[in-house]
Structure 1
Amino acid sequence: MTVNDDSFTSWKNREEIAESMIPIIGKLHREQDVTVLVHSRSLVNKSVVSILKTHRFARQIAGEELSVTETLPFLQTLTTLDLGPSQIDIGMLAADYKADSRGLTVEEFTAEAVAGATGENKIERRDGRDVVLYGFGRIGRLVARLLIEKAGSGNGLRLRAIVVRGGGEADLVKRASLLRRDSIHGQFQGTITVDEANSTIVANGNTIKVIYANDPSEVDYTAYGIENAILIDNTGKWRDREGLSKHLRPGIDKVVLTAPGKGDVPNIVHGVNHDTIKPDERILSCASCTTNAIVPPLKAMDDEYGVLRGHVETVHSFTNDQNLLDNYHKADRRGRSAPLNMVITETGAASAVAKALPELKAPITGSSIRVPVPDVSIAILSLRLGRETTRDEVLEYLRDVSLHSPLKRQIDFTTAPDAVSMDFVGSRHASIVDAGATKVDGDNAILYLWYDNEFGYSCQVIRVVQHVSGVEYPTFPAPAA
């Protein structure tokens, strides 16, 4: 047998193992509300090849490839345990087991590592929480995709309605088509049908009412059977407490804004300050995509090195508020053609850092350039540190943060030497550290942080909504503090 034959046989064996994992992952998710992860990446509803690629990715961040032969025993052991709702990272279980020297069996080690999700410790499955989307643009449709994707167990967030202004003939069909096909993010994973008579879209079995209204005051959500719902405002039309309070109509309990909040509206970056949300807070903001991209790495660097001052320059994809061709715009430069120009503009991300990370006393400045790409941006974060360090030390630290810290869902890490922006379309992290571009000289560090300003940000929004709704389940093994 040749080397090529050996490689192909190995691939086929791993395919077979990954194939056997799919029904186990699906059953755990549907019946016990358990989401199986590999290094913070969900394996729910993934194909054979996607499972293998997710395992292989561990090589970039952990230094060596992770095989399905290593993780399968842990997955099989989970089926024998009395698990409650949780997220369980079999990649981390395999890595921690390899580092453990006590001589435990896989079964003993797994039972110990996930003890917080079993027996008397497990939390009860909660009733689903209604969610309403107000606005159905770029972020609204991606949030809808995520809500539908996560509805598999039937006990999490339930997308009940979408509120939009009437758009004329075949409005519902056109909106469903935009949900079904996306030029950047591809096809919707599942089936979508339209019931024009009842003004509903049915996506993967989820019946979503489409409500037409020109103002929040026109809607009584209880008339549609919606109760105690979280409303996600994707329009950005109202950003202060007074304006957003208009959404607190019958049937709505909380309002989450997908734009920077003004005044006393809390700006929340999941992973950094979501635990500061007061139980009785009814209005909050998920800040901006750029704020979500820079605050987690800023916190990580400040925790380890101290940050004395910083500047962030964002090279940002163009957005819907710019013009396709030169035309009037209330901003000075945004009226110029977005696909033809680099456009200097402002960013509020630097000033928003103080709201999300008040313990960081360092002054942070910022500016932005819009460039002719449709999605994925990069934040160049230049920092003056509290002590001198080396490039290798910083990279090893950030690699570890992306793997083991409470910020591992926010910060990703890539060593790919040929990485470009389109490689990060669909990333679920708030930002991705580009190891190859990182520069460190004494107490100066420059981090290059990629981020999918549409999808990665939408994932952060969903995490905040899960947290305030009470369906953000604990992760095991627990990340290091």
Structure 2
Amino acid sequence: MTGDAFTAWKRREELAEAMIPIIGQLYRQHDVTILVHSRSLVNKSAVGILKAHRFVRQIEKEELKIEDSYPILKTISELDLTPSRIDIGYLAIAYKHDNRGLSVEDFTREAVKGAIANGDEDRNPPRDVVLYGFGRIGRLLARLLIEKTGSGNGLRLRAVVVRRGGDNDLMKRASLLRRDSVHGLFNGTIHVDLENETIIANGNPIKIIYSGDPTSIDYTEYGINNAVLIDNTGKWRDREGLSQHLRPGIDKVVLTAPGKGDVKNIVHGVNHETLSADDNILSCASCTTNAIVPVLKAVNDKYGVEYCHVETVHSFTNDQNLLDNYHKGDRRGRSAPLNMVLTETGAASAVAKALPELTGRVTGSSIRVPTPDVSMAMLNLTLDGETNRDDLVDHLRTVSLKSPMQRQIDFIASTETVSTDFVGSRAACVVDAEATIVQGNHAVVYLWYDNEFGYSCQVVRVVQHITGVLYPHFPQV
């Protein structure tokens, strides 16, 4: 029996290894990203591909066999495709339940026919991106933008603006991009061109611009034009302050913090369609807002939300002190690695900007805890009507699989998961199905979220949307 299991593993491993060059070629030559239930397989190892297949049992209640997905991938590789995102996991499950008697080849061609080139495609040119600031979120954005360069079309990270920290600044910036205590090593190679003050990551030259004054920079001097600037410093949050970035070469400004005043707070998957071509300054709200708003929308759409209190258990951040010291905020002066710190959160009030129908119905508070990354939001809900646990869990599972919010809401049904299991999660949040509580019209829903990486993925999705390089998804929801 043990020998049979090992033989089966080796067979699956061989198929996964055969997938790697196909996935890479589709990505680099056609800008086609292959997924398994919303998890990208680009640059994954054979074991990583098998783990993505194995994870499907958490949400589909059945195994996804690589023997079923491989023929679909082979068929896709033989098609002339336009830039797109194709989920072979969904296709394999759908084919398994299709009763029309189609061959794998015919079924796959029909399912992805919208991605097949017909000669009339008008592709958007590559779009330049500038990062203003290079802290926790800035470096993760850099990793994501470099990862998504693909064939060179789409988004291109051209420059990073920082204050010079010292004579060895460039080498230290490159080192922080290369190594991360939470998210691990950079997936690729990094070289430093000291003469030109440039970091070259996976062949992408990234100019480091040293400046403390956004109004002093002319980006066209660096060959940057029509760019999106992502301000991840949080120094300016209103339109007047952020407008300083609208310099020669910069077309739009995106803030990675809650915007103030009339700055739109955007949660991708919920209200990104409200943006118009004229919106040149916008905010991606906060990590917690991105985590809770998609689920609040999903619950409100079906059951109605009379009231919700959001309690977040949030990892500590750079805003807090390592040891007790003065801090302008209440309680935040106490040592972050040693204490749970009760503090306020603006996420509840920010909900109204993304979901106006819930204005005045959401309150919130937060506890900072001694972990470096991954947080939890507990939604204590009073619904308009009664339901039961199975119905609510099944609804959230369906939304995570078959709705326009499938990239925002992930789903897990395990009683053994803990916070570190969600480091690197690309979803805005992950519903912990086994922790859900429902009694009459009261419900408590627990959401995990990587407050660094998951949020950064949401920011990139917004940038892809406003630049027109968020490629269509197949099969279409």
TM norm. shorter chain > 0.5: yes
1:55 equivalenced with 2:53 (yes/no): yes
1:429-448 equivalences under 5 Å are 429-448=427-446
CA contact (8 A) 2:268 2:461 kept: yes
Q: Which whole-Å CA distance do the structure 1 matches of 2:151 and 2:377 have between them?
A: 36
| Distance of 2:167 and 2:212 partners within structure 1 | 17
Residue identity opposite 1:460 in structure 2: Q
Structure 2 match to 1:110: 108
Partners of 1:37 and 1:43 within 8 A in 2: yes
After superposition, the Cα gap between the structure-2 partners of 1:418 and 1:122, relative to the gap in structure 1 and judged at 3 Å, is farther
Q: TM-score, normalised by structure 1?
A: 0.98
Which residue in the other structure is 2:304 paired with?
306
Equivalent residue number for residue 231 of structure 1: 229
| SS of alignment partner, residue 187 of structure 1 | coil
Paired residue secondary structure (1:352): helix
Matched, 1:31 2:36: no
What letter matches 1:164 in structure 2?
V
Offset at residue 123 of structure 1 (A): 4.1
Unaligned runs of 5+ in 2: none
Q: What is the identity, as a one-letter code, of the residue corresponding to 1:114?
A: V
**Corresponding residue of 1:211:** 209
Shift of 1:197: 1.1
Matching residue of 2:412: 414
Please say if 1:169 is aligned against 2:167: yes
Please state how far the C-alpha of 1:372 moved relative to its aligned partner. 0.6
Q: Distance in 2 between matches of 1:117 and 1:200?
A: 37
1:347-394 C-alpha deviation (Å, 9 max, x unpaired): 010110110112335610000011111100000001111221111111
Other-structure match for 2:131: 133
Match of 2:337 in 1: 339
Q: Any idea what the Cα deviations from partners look like across 1:418-475, whole Å, max 9, x if unmatched?
A: 1111110000000011111110001111001000000000000000011111100010
SS, match of residue 35 in structure 2: strand
Among 282, 285, 289, which residue is 1:284 paired with? 282
Given that residues 351 and 359 in structure 2 are in contact (C-alpha distance below 8 angstroms), is that contact kept between their aligned partners in structure 1? no
Q: What's 2:313 paired with?
A: 315
1:43-86 deviations in whole A, cap 9, x for unaligned?
A: 11111000000000000110111111010111111122221111
1:64 corresponds, among 46, 62, 65, to: 62
Alignment partners' CA distance in 2, 1:325 and 1:363:
37
Say which of 241, 248, 254 aligns to 1:256.
Answer: 254
Question: What is the deviation of 1:126?
Answer: 2.8
Partner Cα distance (1:367, 1:83) in 2 = 48
The 8 Å contact of residues 230 and 252 in structure 1, kept in 2 or not, is answered as yes
Partner of residue 15, structure 2: 17
Counterpart CA distance in 1 for 2:21 and 2:93 is: 23
Match of 1:355 in 2: 353
| Unaligned segments of structure 1, at least 5 residues | none
1:222 pairs with 220, 223, 235, which one? 220
Aligned counterparts of 2:386 and 2:102: Cα–Cα separation in 1: 41
Deviation at 1:97, TM superposition (A): 1.4
Contact 1:271 1:296 in 2 (8 A): yes
Q: Are 2:305 and 1:329 aligned? A: no
- Report the AA paired with residue 267 of structure 1: N
How many Å apart are 1:120 and its aligned residue? 3.3
Q: Distance in 1 between matches of 2:117 and 2:159?
A: 36
Q: CA deviation at 1:125?
A: 3.5
Task: Give the distance between the partners of 1:102 and 1:121, measured in 2 at CA.
Answer: 30
Aligned residue number for residue 83 of structure 1? 81
> In the aligned structure 1, how far is the partner of 2:334 from the partner of 2:94?
53
3-state SS of paired residue (2:265)? coil
Q: What are the superposed Cα offsets for residues 287-317 of structure 1, whole Å, 9 maximum, x if unpaired? A: 0000000000001101111111101000100
Contact 2:315 2:368 in 1 (8 A): yes
For the residues of structure 2 that align with 1:105 and 1:276, how far apart are their CA atoms? 41
Mapped partners of 2:176, 2:98: distance in 1 = 49
Percent of aligned pairs sharing the same letter: 71
Would the aligned equivalents of 1:84 and 1:124 in 2 still touch at CA under 8 Å? no
1:458 pairs with one of 435, 456, 459: 456
CA contact (8 A) 1:308 1:362 kept: no
Q: Give the 5 Å matches for 1:178-217.
A: 178-217=176-215
3-state DSSP class of the match of 1:182? coil
Deviation, 1:122, is 7.2
Q: Which secondary structure does the structure 2 equivalent of 1:120 belong to?
A: coil
CA distance in 1, matches of 2:397, 2:47: 25
Q: Aligned to 1:82, what secondary structure does the other structure show?
A: coil
Task: Report the secondary structure of 1:186's partner residue.
Answer: coil
- Return closer, same or farther for 1:10/1:362 CA change in 2, 3 Å cut-off: farther
Distance between the aligned counterparts of 2:447 and 2:33, measured in 1? 27
Total equivalences in the alignment: 477
SS in 2 for 1:359: helix
SS of the residue corresponding to residue 51 of structure 1 reads helix
- State the one-letter code of the partner of 2:43: N
Cα pair 1:430 1:451 within 8 Å, conserved: yes
Deviation at 1:104, TM superposition (A): 1.3
Q: Give the TM-score normalised by the residue count of structure 2.
A: 0.99
> For 1:86 and 1:23, how far apart are their aligned partners in 2?
18
Distance 2:358 2:370 in 1: 33
- Please list the CA deviations of residues 125-157 of structure 1 after superposition, one character each: whole Å capped at 9, or x if unmatched: 332110000000000000000001111221011
- The separation in 1 between residues aligned to 2:360 and 2:305, in whole angstroms, is 6
CA distance, structure 1, for counterparts of residue 397 and residue 179 of structure 2: 35
Aligned CA-pair RMSD: 1.1
Secondary structure of 2:188's counterpart equals coil
Task: Give deviations 1:158-177, integer Å, cap 9, x for gaps.
Answer: 00000000101200000100
The aligned counterpart of 2:426 is 428
Once the two structures are superposed, what CA deviation does each residue of 1:201-231 show, in whole Å capped at 9, x if it has no partner? 0001000000000110111000000000000
Alpha-carbon separation, structure 2, partners of 1:80 and 1:51? 21
Cα deviation for residue 411 of structure 1 reads 0.6
